[in-house]
Amino acid sequence: MPYSIMLDAGHGGRDPGAVYNGRQEKDDTLALTLAVGEILQERGVDVLYTRTTDIYESPYQKAMEANQAGVDFFISLHRNSNPIPNSASGVESLVYDKSGIKLQMAENINEQLESVGFVNLGVKERPGLVVLRRTQMPAVLVEVGFINSETDNNLFDNNFDDIALAIAEGILDTLQIQGENNSQISSYTVQAGAFRNAAYADRLQQELLDQDFPAVISQDGGLYRVTVGTYPALDEAAAMERRLKRAGYQTVIVRS
């Protein structure tokens, strides 16, 4: 079963996003999102979009669309801005918290964009952003350079195809898809807790079992880890992670 990703072109319609010398963020993000989506579809990824035209939807509406579609990942593309033009440049990715597969994907996207020529400003936590907080799947928001930086705009315009490919490759690197071949993917499990006290681990395991989650306990490095399931494909682990998050658990997908 192919992975499914919802791509979100930031802003749109009556919300132009950041504006600089007549250039509007909403236009850059839409063009880039469609280009990234085309590459991912060519590689066998099932791609959905929050928008493909110049329309407005609230961040909450976008998150709900992703949840209702049941996609495996949510990627939102933006351009950054700074109060003082030409005082900052580079790419950064935002995540709800620095854990799990979303962090790995954010780091991979940043590294690929760095190879195109952007300064890598790293990954930052933004738990207050609606599209990161309200989505039930791993979500990443990518700020693809500063719209009020001549350096970043020149890079964006002159290397547009390479930038779209870099973002797609960062996503694909995370999924370990090489073209049409994803046979190298190893197994995954979903960690629901890690404790130094075995009694706490026992309690969580029983709580999960009572809700029909196949929880087990393993000991590693002085910690008692409570995990749920073993899955050969990342999308299956992501589906279980969504179930656990909806049930109120803080989870991390772990590659084994």
Q: Is residue 107 among the annotated active site residues?
A: no
Please pick, among 143, 150, 180, 207, the residue that the annotation labels catalytic.
143
Given a contact cutoff of 8 angstroms between Cβ atoms, the answer to whether 12 and 26 are in contact is yes
Whole-angstrom distance, CA of residue 156 vs CA of residue 111 = 16
Residue of 178, 190, 204, 191 whose CA lies nearest to 235: 190
Which pair of structure tokens corresponds to residue 185? 């993917």
Let me know the angle formed at the C-alpha of 106 by 128 and 99, rounded to the nearest 5 degrees: 65
Whole-angstrom distance, CA of residue 119 vs CA of residue 92 = 9
- Which residue type sits at 59? P
Which pair of structure tokens corresponds to residue 124? 């930052």
Whole-angstrom distance, CA of residue 236 vs CA of residue 84 = 45
Whole-angstrom distance, CA of residue 89 vs CA of residue 250 = 34
Which pair of structure tokens corresponds to residue 109? 């996207």
Catalytic site residues? 143
